[in-house]
């Protein structure tokens, strides 16, 4: 997958994850003592910013790119933890959100699955 394709694919996945997170946060009660809405939105916004900046500067030092990917992975894990907490508290079904996070992790790790590999009805990759 070329760099522009990977960038577009990650942006698409990130946008879809944002839509899923928005739907999830609507189902979380406003009196939630864990502040899941706030925490989930913060970690997602930080993730989106990291992914966007990953592909911006081609002249950037290699170490900075590596650091940015590490931060993106950390925010992905944070999002995943909060989404799993939403699932444990039975606020919403989170399977689509988890599969999107795994897809973003795959592309950040250099795996070249394309968006057409994702079966939208089963939320799993077709092999």
Superfamily for domain range 3-112: 23S rRNA-intervening sequence (1.20.1440.60)
pLDDT top residue among 22 and 61: 22
- Where does the pLDDT of residue 126 fall: very low under 50, low under 70, confident under 90, or very high at 90 and above? very low
Which has the higher per-residue pLDDT, 60 or 117? 60
Give the start-to-end residue ranges of the domains of the chain.
Answer: 3-112
**Could you read off the pLDDT of 58-116 as tens digits, one per residue?**
677 888 888 988 999 999 999 999 999 999 999 999 999 999 999 998 888 877 555 44
Q: Is the pTM of this model over 0.85?
A: no
Q: Would you list the DSSP string of 48-109?
A: HHHHHHHTT-TTS-HHHHHHHHHHHHHHHHHHHHHHHHHHHTTSS--HHHHHHHHHHHHHHT
- Residues 2-28: what's their mean pLDDT? 85
């Amino acid at each position: 997958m070329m760099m522009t394709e990977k960038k577009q694919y990650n942006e698409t996945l990130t946008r879809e994850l944002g839509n899923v997170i928005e739907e999830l946060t609507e189902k979380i009660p406003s009196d939630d003592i864990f502040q899941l809405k706030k925490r989930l939105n913060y970690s997602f916004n930080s993730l989106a910013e990291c992914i966007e900046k990953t592909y911006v500067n081609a002249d950037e030092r290699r170490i900075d790119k590596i650091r940015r990917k590490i931060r993106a992975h950390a925010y992905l894990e944070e999002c995943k933890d909060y989404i799993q907490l939403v699932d444990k508290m039975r606020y919403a079904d989170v399977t689509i959100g988890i599969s999107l996070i795994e897809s973003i992790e795959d592309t950040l790790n250099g795996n070249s699955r394309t968006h057409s590999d994702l079966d939208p009805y089963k939320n799993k990759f077709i092999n």
